[in-house]
């Protein structure tokens, strides 16, 4: 692939600090755009594992020039190092620039549960990286919290629980940018599906003033080979 297909993290966004919030937001939005543009929709796969493999391939494809993706080979590396996916600088101090956890939380056919997602998100909290990504799948149609809100959870419920985790952690570093990428189950047969992303940037050390902003949303386009 040519360099124009790769994602770029500017040097000023690779350091922690309160500055460059607008640029960090632009980088986050660009990441989402690049990540979803050629990824196979979840409904085109028979299993969660196949969908995760599609994600792994996409992380490798758009890894910035001068960085290494891990796991580094989508065909042979199915394990993880620290988190599911990540990018680190190839030279120097090998800073981790982006860390990602992906959790579909499938307990049975067409059933999901919030707790596995929350468990994996807590891994991201402890990783030192200027950009952190959580990929999950809510229920597109659910809006209330009747019954068990953890089961087939809504996007509103996910935001509520994520805010609680971020506020309770207390060790957020200025400049840390959290990108939340939801591929909700629409329940529409034959649909390629949709995505929606939101974001939070820590403004100071131990920041607990957590308020999410919408970042991007749209329909997924099935790649030609699928």
Q: State residue 2's pLDDT score.
A: 40
Q: State residue 92's pLDDT score.
A: 75
Residues 25-52 as b/e (b if ≥16 CB within 10 A, e otherwise) read bebbeebbebbbebbbbbbbeeebeebb
CA nearest to 181, candidates 23, 31, 1, 17: 31
Query: pTM value?
Result: 0.89
DSSP letter for each residue of 22-40: HHHHHHHHHHHHHHHTTPP
Q: State residue 72's pLDDT score.
A: 65
3-state secondary structure (DSSP) of residue 185: strand
- Is a pLDDT exceeding 50 seen at residue 1? no
The tens digit of pLDDT for each residue in 156-193 reads 999 999 999 999 998 999 999 999 999 988 766 667 78
The tens digit of pLDDT for each residue in 110-158 reads 567 899 999 999 999 999 999 999 999 888 776 555 567 778 888 999 9
């Amino acid at each position: 692939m040519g360099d124009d297909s790769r994602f770029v993290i500017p040097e000023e966004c690779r350091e922690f600090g309160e500055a460059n919030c607008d640029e960090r937001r632009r980088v986050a939005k660009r990441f989402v755009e690049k990540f979803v543009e050629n990824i196979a929709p979840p409904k085109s796969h028979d299993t969660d594992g196949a969908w995760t493999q599609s994600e792994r391939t996409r992380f490798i494809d758009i890894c910035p020039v001068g960085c290494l993706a891990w796991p580094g080979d989508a065909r042979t590396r199915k394990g993880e190092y620290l988190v599911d996916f990540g990018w680190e600088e190839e030279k120097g101090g090998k800073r981790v620039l982006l860390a990602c956890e992906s959790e579909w939380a499938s307990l049975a056919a067409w059933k999901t549960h919030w707790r596995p997602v929350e468990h994996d998100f807590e891994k991201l909290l402890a990783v030192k990286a200027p950009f952190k990504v959580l990929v999950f799948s809510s229920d597109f149609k659910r809006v209330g919290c009747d019954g068990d809100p953890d089961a087939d959870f809504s996007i509103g419920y996910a935001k509520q629980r994520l805010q609680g985790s971020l506020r309770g952690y207390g060790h957020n570093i200025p400049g840390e940018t959290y990108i939340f990428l939801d591929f909700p189950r629409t329940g529409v047969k034959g649909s390629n599906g949709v995505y929606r992303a939101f974001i939070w940037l820590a403004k100071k050390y131990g920041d607990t003033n957590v308020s999410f902003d919408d970042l991007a949303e749209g329909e997924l386009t099935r790649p030609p080979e699928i």
